[in-house]
Every structure is written in structure tokens, then in C-alpha cells.
């Protein structure tokens, strides 16, 4: 059995330390030289990463961005216009114009506008007001953005998984799950036994199970996609207020449509209370009808967005403090928060599903 040569290990450790020290000093000198050229803007970086985009940025190679272009679909004054986002040449500052027919378009901070005929002093084909907001007319944008691509991808993944689970049950002689069904079945049973039945009722829950299961898996899967930092994932769909608004609106519509007489009585004429108190509570309960879906929308949006912002902020500490010595702490805390985020994405999907079931149960409650 060979003995360990500790002298060689010591020399290796000292060599690595010396190399790391030299590289850090070189990096600091380079930072001092380039600090005057461009100041790191953490807000701009974070907003760029958590926002939607017309392309999938993969990496930068030799100072040039490599990305996957997505289709641009615009409804303009002259009808439908389509082209690929690569025609903007990765520009989002309004300095590149795409001409289609007699119409000119430019991309400014993720939004597509009609471009001016001439550029301003900064090279932008955009007119800005005193608060730096564009005055140009917006185009109706129906493009396949990064979030839309992620939504379609999650739909394909979910359909594939559930069809595979259904086939496994069909092939089974004793109706026992196999393959992916072994993973999906416990989750479905959990949603049924711990979410749907307790909140909606044992005799009414089946009608609402498809919706509850769909929003749970859809939110959960898209949240997981947001944690994966490379193509074809890396989108922040649940961090888009339009996405969470749509889900909350569906819950509100279903609640309002299926609501029984007892539900409306508790809103407009609370039983068991004096008449003055009924009159006082009626507007509060009516406003509460709309507050519930708004809270549902903001809760999912804010929690997912906050997680991404924290992770990006911790990574940015290296550039803010302009030293590599902070990198170990930055990496450790980033990994720690990322592990917590794995739990948070499932919890947020569960909370949205549970509250939706709770609202359905309140609307379906019979009069005692």
C-alpha cells in the first residue's frame, strides 16, 4: 500500500494559493483599469435577467452574445408583420432599426416601438420625455417571447408525462402504477386528500380536480424551469404579473360562476347580524371578493421574483465589491438560497392550489 507524501500535498496547496493570489491581483488591476470605462449597474442586470425577452441568451463568446432568436409577430397599421428577433442584433437601446415595407421598428428596453426617421444625439431612434419614457407609438406585440416559449415547453412536458402515466395504467393488469406514474400518483392523491376534499367537500371535489391539478403542476413545473440557468429553461414565467393575473382571474371566474345563494348572502346580507352591521359589512365583503384574487396574484409573483432577485444580488457582490475574495461567501450563500428556492417553488404552487380550492369551497357551501 502506497504512503501519502504530505510534502507534495503541501507544495500543491501552496502553489494553488500562490496562483490564486496572483490571479486575484491581476483581476483587481484589470478592474481598476476598466472601472472608468463602465460602471456595473446591478439594477439593470437584475431587471434584465428577471424580465421577459425576445431571444434566449445562451452565453457570451469573445465579447459577442450567442443567443437563440425567437419569432417576432407584430400587428401594425398595415396588418401582420413577422420576422426573427436576430434582426435587432441583440440591441435593446433603440439604436437598431428593422424595416419591413414602409414601416420601421426598434426595440427599446424589451418593448417594440415605431422608430423615428432620424436618431437622436445618443444614436437612438426613440423620442424620450423628461422622465426618459418613450413617446413613440407601441406596436401590438404578439411575439413568441422567452416566457411564451417556456409556457409552451411546460405544456408539452406535462402532456407527455401524463400521457405516459395513463399508458402505464392502461398496460397494468392490477391497476398499479409503474414508471413515471409512481411519481405522479402520490402527488395527485395528496392534492385530492389534503387540498380538494377538505376545502371543497367529499361530494363536490371531483368536478374541480382537473383545474386544481393543472394549476399545481403548471405552476410548479414553470417555477422549476426558472431555477435552471441555461437554455431551454431560465425563464421567469411566474415572475410575470400577466401570468399570475391570468391564473388568479381563472380562479375568480370559476368561484363567481359556481357560487351558490348562500355565498352571495354572506357577501351582501351577512346572516345572524344586526341590520346596521349588515349594511356596514356589505361593501367590505364585496371589495373582499376582488382582494382575494389580487392577493393570490401578487403572492405568487412577489415570492418567485424575490427569490430570483436575492440570488442575482448575491452573485453581484463580486462585481459590486470589485474583489474575488468575496466569491467564496457569495457562492456559498447563492447555493444556500438556491436550495431553499427548490422548496419555495413547490410551496408556492401548493399555496395557490390550496387557496383556489378554499375559494371554491366557500362558494359551494350549503346553507346551514
Identify whether 50 is part of a domain.
no
In the chain, where does DSSP find H-type helix? Answer: 6-34, 42-50, 146-171, 181-190, 197-200, 209-227, 241-258, 261-268, 275-321, 327-364
The domain boundary, picked from 112, 143, 174, lies at 143
Note whether residue 154 is domain-resident: yes
Q: How would residue 248 be classed by pLDDT, with cut points 50, 70 and 90?
A: very high
Residues 239 and 274 in one domain: yes
Residue 317 in any domain: the answer is yes
Structural domain including 242 reads: 147-364
pLDDT digits (tens, 9 = 90+) for 87-105: 988 888 889 999 998 899 9
Question: Does residue 76 sit in the same domain as residue 212?
Answer: no
Same domain? 97 vs 225: no
Give mean pLDDT, residues 145-166.
92
87 belongs to a structural domain = yes
| Position 59 in a domain | no
242 and 196 in one domain? yes
Residue 220 — very low, low, confident or very high, per pLDDT cuts 50/70/90? very high
DSSP string, 118-164: S--TTS-S--B-TTS-B-SPBPEE----HHHHHHHHHHHHHHHHHHH
The total domain count for the chain is: 3
Find the angle CA(319)-CA(323)-CA(329) to the nearest 5 degrees. Answer: 85
> Is 321 a domain residue?
yes
Q: Is pTM beyond 0.75 here?
A: yes
Question: Does residue 312 surpass a pLDDT of 80?
Answer: yes
Which DSSP letter does residue 117 get?
S
- In this prediction, residue 192 has a pLDDT band, given cuts at 50, 70 and 90, of very high
Separation of alpha carbons 13 and 78, rounded Å: 68
Indicate if 10 and 151 belong to the same structural domain.
no
Q: Quick check: is 359 in a domain? A: yes
In this structure, the answer to whether residues 27 and 108 fall within a common structural domain is: no
- In this prediction, residues 40-58 reach a mean pLDDT of 79
Indicate the pLDDT class of residue 8, thresholds 50, 70 and 90: low
Between CA 126 and CA 137 the distance in angstroms is 10
Strand 93-100 relative to strand 103-108, pairing = antiparallel
- 236 and 279 part of one domain: yes
DSSP state of 115: P
Q: Same structural domain for residues 139 and 169?
A: no
Q: Give the angle subtended at the CA of 42 by the CAs of 37 and 47, to the nearest 5°.
A: 120
58 part of a folded domain = no
**344 and 229 within one domain:** yes
User: Are 314 and 179 in a shared domain?
Assistant: yes
Residue 303: pLDDT band with limits 50, 70, 90: very high
Report the pLDDT averaged over residues 66-74.
Answer: 88
Task: Clarify whether residues 131 and 172 are in a common domain.
Answer: no
Q: Calculate the average pLDDT of the chain.
A: 84
Amino acid at each position: 500500500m502506497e504512503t501519502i507524501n504530505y510534502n507534495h500535498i503541501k507544495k500543491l496547496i501552496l502553489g494553488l494559493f500562490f496562483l490564486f493570489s496572483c490571479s486575484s491581483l491581476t483581476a483587481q488591476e484589470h478592474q481598476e483599469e476598466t472601472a472608468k470605462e463602465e460602471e456595473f449597474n446591478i439594477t439593470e442586470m437584475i431587471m434584465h435577467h428577471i424580465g421577459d425577452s425576445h431571444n434566449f441568451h445562451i452565453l457570451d463568446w469573445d465579447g459577442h452574445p450567442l443567443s437563440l432568436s425567437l419569432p417576432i409577430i407584430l400587428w401594425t397599421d398595415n396588418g401582420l408583420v413577422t420576422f426573427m428577433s436576430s434582426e435587432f442584433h441583440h440591441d435593446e437601446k433603440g439604436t437598431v432599426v428593422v424595416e419591413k415595407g414602409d414601416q420601421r421598428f426598434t426595440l427599446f428596453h424589451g418593448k417594440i416601438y415605431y422608430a423615428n426617421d432620424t436618431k437622436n444625439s445618443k444614436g437612438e431612434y426613440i423620442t424620450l420625455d423628461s422622465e426618459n419614457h418613450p413617446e413613440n407609438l407601441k406596436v401590438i406585440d404578439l411575439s413568441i417571447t422567452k416566457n411564451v416559449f417556456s409556457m409552451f415547453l411546460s405544456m408539452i412536458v406535462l402532456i407527455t408525462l401524463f400521457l405516459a402515466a395513463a399508458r402505464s395504467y392502461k398496460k397494468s393488469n392490477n391497476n398499479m402504477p409503474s414508471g413515471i406514474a409512481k411519481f405522479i400518483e402520490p402527488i395527485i392523491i395528496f392534492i385530492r386528500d389534503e387540498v380538494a376534499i377538505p376545502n371543497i367537500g367529499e361530494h363536490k371535489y371531483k368536478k374541480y380536480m382537473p383545474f386544481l391539478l393543472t394549476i399545481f403542476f403548471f405552476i410548479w413545473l414553470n417555477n422549476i424551469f426558472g431555477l435552471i440557468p441555461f437554455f431551454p429553461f431560465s425563464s421567469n414565467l411566474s415572475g410575470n404579473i400577466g401570468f399570475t393575473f391570468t391564473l388568479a382571474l381563472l380562479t375568480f371566474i370559476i368561484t363567481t360562476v359556481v357560487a351558490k345563494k348562500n355565498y352571495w348572502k354572506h357577501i351582501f346580507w351577512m346572516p345572524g347580524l344586526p341590520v346596521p352591521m349588515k349594511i356596514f359589512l356589505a361593501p367590505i365583503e364585496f371589495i373582499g371578493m376582488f382582494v382575494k384574487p389580487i392577493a393570490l396574484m401578487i403572492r405568487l409573483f412577489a415570492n418567485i421574483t424575490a427569490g430570483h432577485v436575492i440570488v442575482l444580488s448575491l452573485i453581484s457582490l463580486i462585481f459590486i465589491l470589485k474583489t474575488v475574495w468575496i466569491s467564496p461567501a457569495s457562492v456559498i450563500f447563492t447555493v444556500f438560497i438556491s436550495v431553499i428556492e427548490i422548496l419555495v417553488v413547490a410551496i408556492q404552487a401548493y399555496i395557490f392550489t390550496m387557496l383556489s380550492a378554499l375559494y371554491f369551497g366557500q362558494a359551494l357551501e350549503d346553507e346551514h
